[in-house]
Amino acid sequence: MAKAFPFTAIVGQDEMKTALLVAAVDPSIGGVLVFGDRGTGKSTAIRALAALMPKIPMVEGCPFNCDPDKKPAGLCARCESGTEKLKSRASPIPVVDLPLGATEDRVIGALDLERALHDGEKAFEAGLLARAHRGFLYIDEVNLLEDHIVDSLLDVAASGENVVEREGLSVRHPARFVLVGSGNPEEGELRPQLLDRFGMSVEVKTPQDVAARVEIVRQRDAFERDPEGFTKHQQRKEGRVRRQLQKARESLDSIEVADEVLEAAATLCMSLGTDGLRGELTLVRTARAQAALAGRDVATLDDMKALAPSVLRHRLRRDPLDESGSTARIDKALSALFD
């Protein structure tokens, strides 16, 4: 298996790296959408994060990556019906690629109707959504995804469960994952229903600083010439961030959110005219995850402000009378309300 470029060796793109780490700490945030120029490290960062993640317990032999510590309600039918104690193993958090040309059966899974009719056995071939449970589902060129696949994703993202029905037969299994999409906005827009399912949206641009570009090329060239040596050189930094992630995930539920953060989140969303309450909820969740990453017990207003552009830029309505972009509008509102 080819080695992933180390996450800690990625030069620049700080907003993208922070968003990915925050989403890794709290999967309920809803994932990350990364839009920007080609060749700016979007897919590199996502694969690098996967290699950085700590291992998690999984039921041995389960095709759905069930958590052995979960109550029966959170298990698949196979693990729930078992009479013996579930055996577990520590496994890497799954990162699954959803290719653009994937069929619906490959994505959601397929029932073997022939075996069901002849043998009376409900045989199910797990799809990409099953493999991504408790991990990451990565879609490159997400804005070019076919509509029927988008519909399937929306159903599962809303319920956390995948249901496959064919000819009167039905199979359901848990499917909760961090959705990570990347793409180039020049190649087409994302459907609003899917856009709303992403917790954060970040923009990446080609660096315009000579020193940064030189450092990026130098790092990439060194990695390609000696992947083993380069990765070993970054081992200590990678271990530090891995421990930071592990600690943040473990402490997340104990992080308090100050009342001023709740009020500020509501005030900011009202000022910007966002629809619904998903913006406020995501602002609070990202602030809590940011505080957990920083090793603090309380999420502060600064945590919320730091992540507000990532959380809200894809939730704003377009204003035909305002030519400034979403990020500029959010920055302007933050300055007017909190400075």
Candidates 166, 191, 213, 278; catalytic one: 278
CB 183 within 8 A of CB 38: no
Q: Is 278 a catalytic residue?
A: yes
CA nearest to 301, candidates 333, 269, 263: 263
Alpha helix (H) residue ranges in the chain = 14-25, 42-52, 77-81, 104-108, 113-119, 128-132, 147-159, 192-195, 210-225, 227-233, 235-251, 259-272, 278-293, 301-312, 326-338
Rounded to whole angstroms, how far apart are CA atoms 170 and 127? 15
Beta bridge partners of 111: 124
Beta bridge partners of 96: 137
CB 267 within 8 A of CB 225: no
Residues annotated as catalytic (active site), given as ranges:
278
